[in-house]
C-alpha cells in the first residue's frame, strides 16, 4: 500500500500489483543513464548487513523532477572529469520500518563498523528516523567518482570502521569523502572539522554540483541531498522492481 496518501489505498494496491511505477516516478536510467548506480540496500553492503524489504531490484527510482535535476548535476560533474554515483534514491516506507525494527533488535556486532563510536540504542532518532525524505522520491544518497572508475571498488581485508582511513574502511570507488557511506558518526557531517582539507574539498565540490542543480544537502550526512523544487512531499510504499523501459 502507498502510505502517506490518504484515501488512495485502492489506487495504491492497483499500482503495486501492476508492477508499474506510480505517476510522476521514473527509473533514473531512463533519464540520466550515465549516472552510476551502487544501490546498497538491494544487497548486503549496508548497515543492516542484508537486503532491505522493498528493494526488489538494484534500481534508482525517483520523481521525474529529481531525476531531471540529477541529469543536470551529472553534466556538471562530467565537465570536471567526474561522475555521480547514487547509493540510494526512492526508499519504500516498508524499508524505513525495517530499519526501525533492526535498530530495536539486540546488537550482534556484524555491522558495528557503521557506528563505531555509538551504541546501537543511540542510533534512533538521531541517525535512524521513523520517516524519511527518501520515501517521497525526492532524496538521493550520492557521491562523486572519477570518470572511468568501476562502480564498485574493494580493498582486500579492509573492513575497518567507517571513520577509518580510505585504505582501511570498506572499499569504494568514490572520491575520498572522509568516511564511508552510511557512517553514523559526527565525522560524516558535511562540514565536519575532523576531515582533511582534501576530503573537505571533495565534499564541497559535491555540494556545489548538487546545489547548482536544485538540491539541498542534509548537514549531518555529506551524501544526502533532497530536490527542493517540488512542494508535494507525500511518502510512498510501493516496492522497487526491475527496470522497465519507458516507465
Burial (CB < 10 A; 0-12, 13-18, 19+), residue 103, is middle
- One DSSP character per residue, the chain reads --TTSTT-HHHHHHHHHHTPPPTTEEEHHHH-TTSEE--GGGSS-STTSSPPTTB-SS--EEEHHHHHHHHHHHHHHHTTTEEEEEEE----HHHHHHHHHHHHSPP-STTGGGSTTS-GGGSTTTTS-SS-GGGGT-EEEEEEEETT--S----TT--B-TTS-TTTBS--SS---SS-TT--SGGGSTT-TTS-HHHHHHHHHHHHHHHHTTEEE-TT-TTEEEE-S--------PPB----TT-
Q: Minimal CA–CA distance to 47: which of 97, 106, 103?
A: 103
The reply to whether 221 belongs to the active site is yes
- Catalytic: which of 15, 59, 170, 221? 221
Beta bridge partners of 84: 144
Active site residues: 221
Amino acid at each position: 500500500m502507498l502510505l502517506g496518501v490518504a484515501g488512495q489505498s485502492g489506487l495504491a494496491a492497483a499500482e503495486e500489483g501492476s508492477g508499474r511505477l506510480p505517476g510522476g516516478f521514473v527509473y533514473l536510467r531512463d533519464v540520466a543513464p550515465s549516472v552510476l548506480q551502487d544501490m546498497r540496500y538491494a544487497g548486503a553492503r549496508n548497515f543492516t548487513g542484508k537486503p532491505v524489504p522493498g528493494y526488489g531490484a538494484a534500481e534508482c527510482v525517483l520523481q521525474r523532477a529529481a531525476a531531471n535535476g540529477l541529469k543536470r548535476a551529472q553534466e556538471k560533474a562530467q565537465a570536471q572529469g567526474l561522475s555521480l554515483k547514487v547509493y540510494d534514491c526512492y526508499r519504500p516506507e516498508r524499508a524505513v520500518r525495517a530499519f526501525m525494527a533492526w535498530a530495536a533488535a539486540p546488537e550482534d556486532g556484524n555491522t558495528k563498523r557503521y557506528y563505531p563510536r555509538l551504541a546501537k540504542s543511540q542510533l534512533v532518532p538521531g541517525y535512524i528516523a521513523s520517516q524519511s525524505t527518501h520515501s517521497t522520491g525526492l532524496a538521493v544518497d550520492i557521491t562523486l567518482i572519477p570518470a572511468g572508475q568501476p562502480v564498485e571498488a574493494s580493498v582486500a581485508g579492509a573492513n575497518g570502521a567507517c571513520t577509518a582511513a580510505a585504505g582501511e574502511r570498506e572499499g569504494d570507488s568514490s572520491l575520498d569523502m572522509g568516511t564511508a557511506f552510511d557512517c553514523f558518526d559526527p565525522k560524516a557531517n558535511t562540514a565536519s572539522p575532523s576531515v582533511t582539507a582534501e576530503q573537505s574539498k571533495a565534499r564541497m565540490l559535491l555540494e556545489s554540483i548538487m546545489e547548482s542543480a536544485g538540491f539541498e544537502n542534509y548537514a549531518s550526512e555529506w551524501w544526502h541531498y533532497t530536490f527542493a523544487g517540488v512542494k508535494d512531499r507525500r511518502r510512498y510504499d510501493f516496492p522497487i522492481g526491475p527496470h522497465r523501459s519507458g516507465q
